[in-house]
Every structure is written in C-alpha cells, then in structure tokens.
C-alpha cells in the first residue's frame, strides 16, 4: 500500500491543537476560572489522589517550578490540598478537595461532549489509528 505523503502533518497538528486549546479555555471561563491545565491536574489527581507534585508535573508535561505555582493557585481556589507525607516529612502530596472532585466531574462531562464532536464522522478503527499516532508522537519527542 502506498503511503500518502503530506508534509503538512506537523502544521495541521499544531493548528488543530491551538484551536482546540482556545475552545477548551473558553469552556474553562464557565468553570469558575478553572483553566485547562488545572482541569488536567484534577483529572490526574482523580486517578492518583495524593500524588507527588513532581509526578503531577510530569503527567501534565510542565516544569516542576510551574507546578508549584499551579498548585498554589489551585489550593487558593479550594480545589486541592497540600499535605506532608506521613512516612517522609520532607515530601508534600497533593489531594483533591470535595470541590476539586466536583469540578473534575463537570470538566469530564464537558470534554466528553467535545470528544464526541471531534470524533464525529470517523469510525472507531480510524480513531484508533489517530490515537495510536498521537501517542507515538508524544513518546518520540
């Protein structure tokens, strides 16, 4: 099978990412000021509550120094708590609050609707290929 060659893959990917990011940020304005990256942090903590700050930064693909500021803003907003680890007092862990859990659920519902829009008209097999390609790109760079 001949492979189609389109040197615009990176360009198209960047355009799509920016447009989706702007759309997500507009949605975020309706979530009491919770940004897309904050929603991502809430999702990650929903899967692993009590995560280390560095592990959460890695999951979000942000610098550890940026994670500190993000955590501070989320604590101030009442979305998460920072607690000292019981076994190692030098370590702080991040935990969801009830408001954080509620906000994560609302954001997941919004993103489920967005996922339905962006996958409309594509078969499950096509989306599986797209997912595999995007995951591979994330691992290569």
Domains within the chain, CATH numbers bracketed: 9-140 (1.10.10.10)
Region 43-62: mean pLDDT is 95
Per-residue confidence (pLDDT) for residue 41, from 0 to 100: 96
Task: Decide if pLDDT at 74 tops 90.
Answer: yes
Q: What is the predicted pLDDT for the residue at 5?
A: 66
The end-to-end CA distance of the chain, in Å, is 27
**pLDDT confidence tier of residue 118, bands split at 50, 70 and 90:** very high
Tokens 């803003």, located at residue: 73
Tens-digit pLDDT profile for residues 2-41 = 566 667 888 999 999 999 988 888 877 665 568 889 999 9
pLDDT, tens digit, for every residue of 80-107? 999 998 899 989 999 999 999 999 998 8
pLDDT of 55 reads 95
Mean pLDDT on 41-66: 95
């Amino acid at each position: 099978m001949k492979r189609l060659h389109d040197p615009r893959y990176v360009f198209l990917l960047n355009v799509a990412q920016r447009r989706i990011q702007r759309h997500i940020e507009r949605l975020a304005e309706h979530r009491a000021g919770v940004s897309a990256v904050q929603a991502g942090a809430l999702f990650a903590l929903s899967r692993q509550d009590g995560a280390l700050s560095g592990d959460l930064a890695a999951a979000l693909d942000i610098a550890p120094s940026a994670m500190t500021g993000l955590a501070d803003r989320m604590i101030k907003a009442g979305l998460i708590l920072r607690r000292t680890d019981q076994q190692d007092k030098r370590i702080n862990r991040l935990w969801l609050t009830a408001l954080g859990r509620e906000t994560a659920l609302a954001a997941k519902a919004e993103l489920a609707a967005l996922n339905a829009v962006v996958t409309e008209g594509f078969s499950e097999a096509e989306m599986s290929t797209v997912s595999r390609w995007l995951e591979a790109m994330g691992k290569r760079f």
